[in-house]
Amino acid sequence: MVSLQENGKHECGGFLVSENFVMSAAHCWKKMIFILPLIHFFTCVYHSVRSVACTLHYSITVILFQLEKPVQRSRTVEWIAIPKTNKDVEANTICSVAGWGKIAFEGPYSSRLLEADVSVIETETCKRDWGNYFSESNMMCAGSDCTCLLQGDSGGPLVCNNTAVGVIAFYEKTCINPPRPYGYTKISAFLPWIEKIMGKIK
């Protein structure tokens, strides 16, 4: 997990996908100057960004930050696998999400990385609940009755079977009986672009 920060303050989540690249939600890019590889607390060294690449596909996109210096693997720092094919994750698969987002709608950001299990939701349910906003080709939904995503959680990964399959993208601004499931950008929908960028940027 990675914290994207502005002026030393957490703003969005992200995650290492290689020693050189961090993936996040595209709407998190503005003014994000430094990135911290973290596990639970804000205790690691800042990494500056060398370059940024962003997809342009409707309003739901992913972004890749290239780091100035490669991140070294350690006991607490590792990058996560992303899909190798565009096969969808089956509904009801148990996955996980994590972030340092707000612990209440008007509350502070969490100082500790919070994690939760969520279940992948049927595509038809997502389409019904989100209407025209939902694009089956590049979005998916997942959630649970006891999971709450709020400001600051955007950009974090949806991890299924040790693979990051989605990026936290959109959600209701309430944790009390949210009327619609949480939405994620499908990483697999952007594989050709991801491979092009990660291969082209040195």
State residue 58's pLDDT score. 47
30-34, 38-42, 45-49: the lowest-pLDDT one: 38-42
Q: Are 189 and 170 in contact (CB under 8 A)?
A: no
- Select, from the ranges 16-20, 27-31, 63-67, 97-101, the one with the highest average predicted confidence (pLDDT): 16-20
Q: Which amino acid is at 77?
A: V
User: What is the residue whose two structure tokens read 């996980």?
Assistant: 96
Q: Tens digits of per-residue pLDDT, 47-77?
A: 666 666 666 554 557 888 888 888 888 887 8
State residue 10's pLDDT score. 82
User: Cα dist. 139→11, 163, 181, 188, 198 in Å?
Assistant: 22, 16, 12, 10, 22
State residue 68's pLDDT score. 81
State residue 202's pLDDT score. 46
Q: What is the mean pLDDT of residues 166-182?
A: 73
Q: Tens digits of per-residue pLDDT, 113-166?
A: 888 899 999 999 988 888 887 888 888 998 876 666 666 688 999 999 999 999
State residue 23's pLDDT score. 92
97: nearest Cα among 5, 42, 169: 169
The pTM of the full predicted model, rounded to 2 decimals, is 0.84
| 3-state SS assignment for residue 195 | helix
Q: Tens digits of per-residue pLDDT, 69-103?
A: 888 888 878 899 999 988 899 999 999 998 887 76
Question: Which residues, 6 or more positions from 192, have their beta carbon under 8 angstroms from its beta carbon?
Answer: none
Q: Is 90 exceeded by the pLDDT of residue 174?
A: no
Q: What is the mean pLDDT of residues 28-48?
A: 56
Token pair for 68: 């100035």
The dihedrals phi and psi of 190, each to the nearest 5 degrees, come to -115, 20
d(CA 86, CA 190): 9
Which parts of the chain fold into alpha helices (H)? Answer: 123-130, 191-200
Domains and CATH numbers, the chain: 2-79+190-200 (2.40.10.10), 94-188 (2.40.10.10)
CA atoms within 13 A on the CB side of 132: 0
